[in-house]
Amino acid sequence: MQNEESLVRRAQQRDERAFAQLYEEYFDKIYRYVTLKIGDRMEAEDITQQVFLNAIKAIPSFKWRGIPFSAWLFRIAHNQVVDFLRRKSKRATTPLEESLVASNYDSQIYDPQLIAEQRLDIERLLVATRKLTPAQQEVISLRFAGELPIAQVAKIMGKSEGAVKALQHSAIVALRKAFSVA
């Protein structure tokens, strides 16, 4: 991707192309992060869309002070997820949505066996991540679904890199345990 700082500066000047480039770069990552956090496809779609609409509103206030744009964007996503989960806790909770996986592969070559395997993988992962602490879940979501390096995860979570590495380690150990009993 073209130099991100210059893209963000142009996006702040409402350069449509620059903003669209940032959008394409981060859309899938934000969607995966949100999906892994809430396990509901329809809600994840709404939230992902809202994250980028909020980013349009908020980008004039973004300042380069050693904070990567990705950290800023994922923080907006995190807030949207927290907002959603708070509202959801007031309503009746819904089980993990089966259709989460069913239609996720519509753009790929149709292979029932592959789809079945992938569905099983995601379902097991979603169930396993629910056994993690909130901090561990956040690290796994940002690191593996959001594909962010440790330094950026640390910025988003307001923790040191060492602390995030420790959380990453404990989270993988806990996931392994959860997978082995599932």
**Residues touching other proteins, count (CB under 8 A):** 80
Q: Choose which of 32, 88, 97, 127 interacts with other proteins (CB under 8 A).
A: 32
Q: Choose which of 71, 137, 139, 152 interacts with other proteins (CB under 8 A).
A: 71
Integer angstrom CA distances of residue 116 from 44, 98, 103, 127, 166: 21, 12, 12, 16, 34
Cβ distance to other proteins smaller for residue 5 or 28? 28
114 touching other proteins, by CB under 8 A? no
Integer angstrom CA distances of residue 69 from 9, 12, 66, 157: 11, 12, 9, 14
89 touching other proteins, by CB under 8 A? no
Site for other proteins in 152-171 (CB under 8 A): 154-163, 165-170
Give the span between the Cα atoms of 154 and 168, in whole angstroms. Answer: 11
CB 135, min distance to other proteins, A: 6
76 touching other proteins, by CB under 8 A? yes
CB 3, min distance to other proteins, A: 21
Closest by CA to 55, choosing from 6, 99, 8, is 8
| Token pair listed for 86 | 């708070």
